[in-house]
């Protein structure tokens, strides 16, 4: 996918919440399939950061290879490996948004380490920047984000992945902590692509996020 990096900017200009995201691209996305997954945030009672708040992706099947000896050997065929990798990427994307929504409520000295569980630079640093921005402006997040996930390219054991999300942010935005006034609200169909890399520990993490101009 051909992309171009724009400057860091306030999310309010991109997806309506006032946080900071990566650059955008003009590449069109194929029609996504609905996942019905939602990441939620509360501004009244801060919630803990947990990926379990979102519906998990189906667990892919594992193909067992008949053992040549008494030892049991298990491996994944290419189709099962692809399904497993996609499920892992999707789960990390949901977890990324749980972190993204709640990181402003995390102690400042813990934010970078928390971001490292779901992202690598530049996305990792950007999560910390978004929290700093919100904190310095007396803002928090409210509402929930729903995901419509889809794939246009296979991972094919490459260690890299690009996930499409036609995201519903119409019930999500930023709020003034002191007054409780809603400052921004997102749109129903926000066309987003996220690039992931697989770490040496086998964990997929977001590296870049691209906001597309085309409808989804």
What would the pLDDT profile of 122-164 be if each residue is shown by its tens digit?
Answer: 999 999 999 999 999 999 999 989 999 999 999 999 999 999 9
- Name the burial class of residue 7, with classes exposed (0-12), middle (13-18) and buried (19+) by CB atoms within 10 angstroms of its CB: exposed
Q: Is residue 194 scored above 50 in pLDDT?
A: yes
pTM as predicted: 0.69
**Alpha carbon distance 17, 141 (integer Å):** 7
Mean per-residue pLDDT for 96-104? 95
Two tokens, residue 179: 């007054």
Q: What proportion of the chain, given as a percentage, has pLDDT over 90?
A: 64
- Closest by Cα among 120, 99, 105, 100 to 199: 120
Scan for tokens 């900017």, then name that residue. Answer: 9
């Amino acid at each position: 996918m051909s992309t171009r990096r724009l400057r860091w900017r306030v999310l309010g200009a991109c997806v309506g919440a006032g946080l900071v995201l990566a650059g955008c691209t003009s590449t069109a996305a194929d029609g996504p399939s609905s996942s019905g997954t939602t990441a939620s945030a509360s501004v009244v009672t801060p919630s803990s950061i947990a990926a379990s708040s979102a519906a998990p992706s189906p667990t892919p099947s594992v193909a067992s290879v008949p053992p040549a000896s008494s030892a049991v050997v298990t491996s994944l065929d290419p189709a099962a490996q692809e399904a497993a990798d996609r499920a892992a990427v999707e789960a990390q994307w949901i977890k990324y948004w749980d972190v993204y929504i709640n990181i402003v409520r995390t102690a400042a000295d813990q934010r970078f380490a928390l971001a490292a569980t779901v992202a690598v630079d530049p996305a990792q640093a950007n999560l910390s920047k978004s929290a700093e921005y919100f904190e310095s402006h007396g803002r928090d997040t409210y509402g929930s984000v729903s995901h419509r996930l889809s794939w246009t390219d296979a991972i094919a054991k490459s260690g890299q992945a690009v996930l499409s999300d036609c995201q519903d942010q119409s019930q999500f935005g930023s709020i003034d902590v002191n007054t409780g006034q809603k400052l921004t609200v997102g749109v129903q169909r926000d066309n987003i692509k996220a690039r992931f890399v697989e770490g040496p520990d086998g964990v997929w993490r977001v590296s870049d996020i691209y906001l597309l101009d085309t409808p989804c």
